[in-house]
Amino acid sequence: MNLWTSFQTEIWRRLLYILFGKVITYATLAGRNDHSRAAGAANGQNPIFLDCPLSQGGLHKR
């Protein structure tokens, strides 16, 4: 049984490829403007703590 959706795991996979110091929007992370809130929610559900600028505003809403 999978605890997470394929969308969540895809968002978490994409987080690994954001370079240090790069700022992107949740819409860019999701790949579609209308999925930005879902990408933010998926990021908030990430079970792995990442001590990086993402949690300090590296991602921002438009």
Give the pTM. 0.70
pLDDT tens-digit profile of 1-56? 778 889 999 998 998 888 888 888 899 999 988 999 999 898 888 877 654 544 44
Give, to the nearest 10 degrees, the angle between helix 6-15 and helix 36-44: 80
Domains plus CATH for the chain?
A: 6-60 (1.10.10.10)
The two three-digit tokens of residue 28, written as one number: 């860019």
Q: Would residue 31 be called left, alpha or beta, if left means φ above 0 and alpha means ψ between -120 and 50 degrees? A: left
Give the whole-angstrom CA distance, residue 13 versus residue 34. 19
- Residue 29 CA to residue 1 CA, distance in Å, equals 26
Which amino acid is located at 1 in the chain? M
